[in-house]
Structure 1
Amino acid sequence: MDIKEYIESGILELYVAGTLSEKENQEIYALLLKHPELLDEVLKIESAIVTLTAAVSPTDTKHLFQAVKEKLGIQTDKDTPVRPLHKPGTNWFSYVGWAATLVIGLGLMWFVNQNNNLKDQIQTVETDKELLEVTLEKYSNDLTETKQLITFLRDKDIIAVPLAGQAVSPDSYAKAYWDKKTNTVVLDVQGLPEPPQGKVYQVWSLTLNPLTPTSLGTIDDFSTDDNKLFTIENANASEAFGITLEPAGGSESPTLEQLYTLGAVEQTS
């Protein structure tokens, strides 16, 4: 018996695929017990089917048919045709059996792929839901802050102090809303230009006689705050407010050459 010819005939693939008659199955089973080479080939075929249907990535089906041939050791050389064992139609049925096997394998991989796609879609929906919740929460917080700001600005005891542009930047402007009861100042600096890199705006409370500046802090988030509204504490007896451009971290005293805006507090009797 020519073992190589028997293997190349395709009969073992039909045996594994379960397409042979009971009599043929018994004959092949007897040969497997007698010839270890045939048994080894059957084990390889079964292993290839398991590997291809369970381990091949669903997204990597482009070379599936070539992978099947390589796993099974089927030659693709045109000069080495598969020879039939019993009759001319046997090899054709072999291909039919393997076509069925491939269909099953592709079906399993399609199912896994669809399952993965469904998981991705669920994950996307969950992510979108989380983003929506964050957006709604931010919107709610912004709305609350806006209402609080409007209430603050409409308070009859709030002192509004316009800050006009100075020599270094005549077109600049700002406005301070001072609540003496809570020692709070809301500063609107929409009219200030973007500070250069390494520089920050610093806010000053001023008494005029004698001229005494007191720092109220630096505006470190100027570039990232879209509203350009900042709340600062001011427990000083301020007679004016000024804003200067200072090195990052602020300065002990204002750099008057970099005074951008200045405004006096209107004195009430």
Structure 2
Amino acid sequence: MNVTEYIASGILESYVMGAVSDQERREIECLSTIYPEIQQELDQLSLSIENYALLHSVEPPAELKSRIMAQIPFEQTTEPVVRPMPVDFSTDRPTFKVTWIAAASVGLLMFVFSFFLLSRLRSNQEMVAQLQTANESLEKEVSQLKESQSANDQLLALLKQPGTRTFELRGNEKAPNGDMFVFWNSKTHEVAVEVRSLPALPADQQYQLWSLVGGKPVDAGVFDANSTNPLPQRLNRSIDRAEAFAVTVEKRGGSPTPTLSTLLAIANVDA
């Protein structure tokens, strides 16, 4: 059962106002013993109506009691006699009629205004829920920004380190507009890439960088090339030697050996 949707349906307000059927009443009383959220909502609604009734209560006229008592005959009998209270709504006694109409009008006003208060209460609860959701989303974005900032700080430290060299790799006939940079530090053995322009790949493929040593390829790590990641990417491989760098297209996660048919770019490392 979705308790939130059940509370938002408005049936609890009708229950508190006494505007539900016997079956609905029994259902609500049963559910309130099972779900604390429903009982809490009923308590809050009852308290709101009670506060409103106390705030807008109207005392009857002071002379009303004496008029009613004057209409009740008191007889000396051994047993009490229960008689209906004489209420004359005829034209010669208009005061009682006006009083009862006024009381009914006040009751109707209280009923309508109670629904207004309950509606405002529901709107405020929905606004609080929306603010909580927005706050959680903002906290998530801040956390992602902190992670991104940490990665950028590490990359910037690599680029500033003495011994870091930059190599430009341009695409061949398979990627004529391809252009990227490789940052490699021969002392720390760290590698990073910055993609300027490379063709977009399917979700199950990635670009893979290779270091060529003695004509043999060494895995230098995988990377993506898309508009959502335009900043330099630090690779998770340690490269201590390199005579050249090359780029191929491989399955996502990388391959132990390069697929030469997908070779897109290569650049020599000057001694």
TM (norm. structure 1) is: 0.58
Distance 1:228 1:259, change over 3 A: farther
Alignment of 1:119-268 (within 5 A): 119-207=125-213, 209=214, 211-219=215-223, 222-223=225-226, 225-232=228-235, 233-267=237-271
Q: Kindly report the root-mean-square deviation, in angstroms, between the aligned alpha carbons of the 2 structures.
A: 3.5
How far 1:133 sits from its partner (Å)?
A: 4.4
Q: Offset of 1:34 from its aligned partner?
A: 7.8
- 1:169 shift after superposition: 0.7
In the TM superposition, what is the alpha-carbon distance from 1:176 to its structure 2 partner?
A: 1.0
5 Å-filtered alignment, 1:7-26, equals 21-22=64-65, 24=68
1:113 is displaced (CA, Å) by: 3.0
Q: Per-residue deviation at 1:131?
A: 4.2
- The amino acid across from 1:187 in the alignment is V
Mapped to 1, the partners of 2:266 and 2:233 lie a distance apart of: 17
- Alignment partners' CA distance in 1, 2:139 and 2:253: 36
Matched, 1:87 2:90: yes
2:108 maps to: 102
**Per-residue CA shift, 1:96-117, capped at 9, x if unaligned?**
3222112112333333333333
Structure 1 pair 198/143, CA: closer, same or farther in 2 (3 Å)?
closer
CA distance in 1, matches of 2:83, 2:264: 100
Distance 1:127 1:199, change over 3 A: closer
Deviation at 1:182, TM superposition (A): 2.6
Deviation at 1:222, TM superposition (A): 4.5
Q: For the structure 1 residues 18 and 204, does the alpha-carbon distance in structure 2 shift closer, same or farther, using more than 3 Å as the test?
A: same
CA–CA separation in structure 2 for the residues paired with 1:212 and 1:144: 34
Q: Which amino acid aligns with 1:230?
A: Q
Structure 1, residues 130-180: CA drift from partner, whole Å, max 9, x if none? Answer: 444444454444444434433321323102121111121121011111123
Q: Is residue 249–residue 263 contact of structure 2 (8 Å, CA) maintained in 1? A: yes
Shift of 1:197: 4.3
| Separation in structure 2 between the aligned mates of residue 151 and residue 252 of structure 1, nearest angstrom | 29
Taking the aligned partners of 2:191 and 2:220, their CA distance within structure 1 comes to 10
**CA distance in structure 2 between the aligned counterparts of 1:245 and 1:34, rounded to whole angstroms:** 100
- Contact 1:202-1:216 within 8 A present in 2 as well: yes
C-alpha displacement of 1:225:
4.6
